[in-house]
Amino acid sequence: MFKYDFSSNKANLEEVVFLLTLNRQKMTERIIIGKTSEVRLRLERGIGEVLYDSTSQIGQLLINFESDPTKNWNVNATYLADNFAGLRPTKNVNSKKIKPYADFLRQKYENGEPASMFAAVRTWEDYWKCYTAHHGSDLFLNRVAKLYKPFFAFSGRQKIWEVSASKALSSALYAAESQVELWYPTVTSDTRRKRTAERIECVVGSATLLPIIFYYLKRIEEWGLLFQQCKVCGAYFLTTSKHFELCGDECRKVTASQAKQQFKERNKDDKAEQFYEATYQYWYNRLRRLKRNNSDGKFEKEIAALTAATKIFRTEAVQKKAEVKSGKMKLTEFRAWLLEQQNLVDGMVKRGK
């Protein structure tokens, strides 16, 4: 990937496009930004020189989409268009008249959000195409108006994914902004077992990102996916069920740690629980040590036997612990049984060494 240069006054002959492909099975989205031919090369052969190529968790484009309720993009574009008459094609693009807007676009490009990156590049490209072809500022402003529309159209209280795909698409048809290009390239991948090739569906936009958003919303509806807000970090994520309340492994670790701490607090005066927990940890540590020493695979049978014995121990221990709490078994008897279990696991590990 290469970095775009906002100090050049030479627009590319090829259009810069925004490509999106969604993988329902892996729950991922891939976005590629670059010249049309280079994007095709990157997609099909992995060798194209593109501006952006990233695969992330599905839904991230919509979750992190640029928001511009004050229409700052349009204000800056108008400022740039006002300088058409005072420029020449050979004029230094870092002049006082151009530099402020070039810096604005460069900042948007460098923020790492793909919609902003694409809009920044297309704005600079369209500006110089219109200027050098003597099209005037009106055509330039009409082009960027379509480009920026999603930034403030979805900047209200309603989240972008809360918009009905069918309703949004109907509005786009009326506004003649629903044109979208679909690619079906054959992508070849190499694995250790075999070389595979598959045809994938890609949606490609150039003048505006609206059709890509509508495409995304439609796929979400078709696949029955929904957005959830993580109960730990508050981040939004796309999932298959309302039962999923955590966005990733880190938040799952936090929840597990909190649950463990709460469990300890509830049972800090419960001797039966404490004795059981200590003995279970004793078993667990012996099994983990045996697995760690199994680099050459010579302890496979011992590990299998100890794993099975651990399950039996846990079942019996939970049952006896319940008997202690109900008064059917004395705490001293339970503790003596747990000590026997420690001796049992020690014997199994000793035989496996």
pLDDT tens for each residue of 88-107: 444 545 466 778 888 899 99
Q: Give a yes or no: residue 231 inside a domain.
A: no
Q: How far is the C-alpha of 66 from the C-alpha of 57, rounded, in Å?
A: 18
Confidence check: pLDDT of 8 > 80: no
**Could you tell me if 59 and 126 lie in one domain?**
yes
Q: How far is the C-alpha of 12 from the C-alpha of 5, rounded, in Å?
A: 12
**Could you tell me if 176 and 315 lie in one domain?**
no
Q: Give a yes or no: residue 250 inside a domain.
A: no
Confidence check: pLDDT of 30 > 90: yes
Q: Give a yes or no: residue 156 inside a domain.
A: yes
Q: Give a yes or no: residue 322 inside a domain.
A: yes
**Could you tell me if 80 and 202 lie in one domain?**
yes
**Could you tell me if 200 and 342 lie in one domain?**
no
**Could you tell me if 62 and 190 lie in one domain?**
yes
Tens-place pLDDT, residues 270-314 = 788 888 888 888 888 888 888 888 777 788 888 888 888 888 988
Q: Give a yes or no: residue 282 inside a domain.
A: yes
**Could you tell me if 187 and 58 lie in one domain?**
yes
Q: How far is the C-alpha of 105 from the C-alpha of 3, rounded, in Å?
A: 13
Domain end call among 190, 207, 223: 223
**Could you tell me if 65 and 209 lie in one domain?**
yes
Residue 136: pLDDT band (50, 70, 90) is: confident
Please provide the DSSP assignment of 217-271 as one string. Answer: HHHHHHHT-EEEE-TTT--EEEES-TT----SHHHHHHHHHHHHHHHHHHTTT-H
**Could you tell me if 219 and 271 lie in one domain?**
no
Question: What's the number of domains the chain is made of?
Answer: 2
**Mean pLDDT score, 3-26:** 86
**Could you tell me if 45 and 175 lie in one domain?**
yes
Q: Give a yes or no: residue 211 inside a domain.
A: yes
**Mean pLDDT score, 123-139:** 82
Confidence check: pLDDT of 64 > 80: yes
Provide the residue range defining the domain that includes 311.
267-352
Beta-carbon contacts of 128 under 8 Å, excluding residues fewer than 6 positions away, are 9, 10, 11
Q: Give a yes or no: residue 136 inside a domain.
A: yes
**Mean pLDDT score, 316-330:** 88
22: Cα within 13 Å, side-chain hemisphere: 21
Q: pTM, whole model, 2 decimals?
A: 0.70
Q: Which range, 17-26, 191-200, 296-305, 332-341, has the best average confidence (pLDDT)?
A: 17-26
**Could you tell me if 216 and 274 lie in one domain?**
no
Beta-carbon contacts of 151 under 8 Å, excluding residues fewer than 6 positions away, are 65, 66, 67, 68, 73, 115, 119
**Mean pLDDT score, 141-158:** 80
**Could you tell me if 347 and 295 lie in one domain?**
yes
Q: Give a yes or no: residue 256 inside a domain.
A: no
Share of the chain above pLDDT 90, in %: 20
Beta-carbon contacts of 226 under 8 Å, excluding residues fewer than 6 positions away, are 220, 238, 239, 240, 241, 242
Domain end call among 160, 190, 223: 223
Domain end call among 157, 188, 223: 223
**Could you tell me if 89 and 151 lie in one domain?**
yes
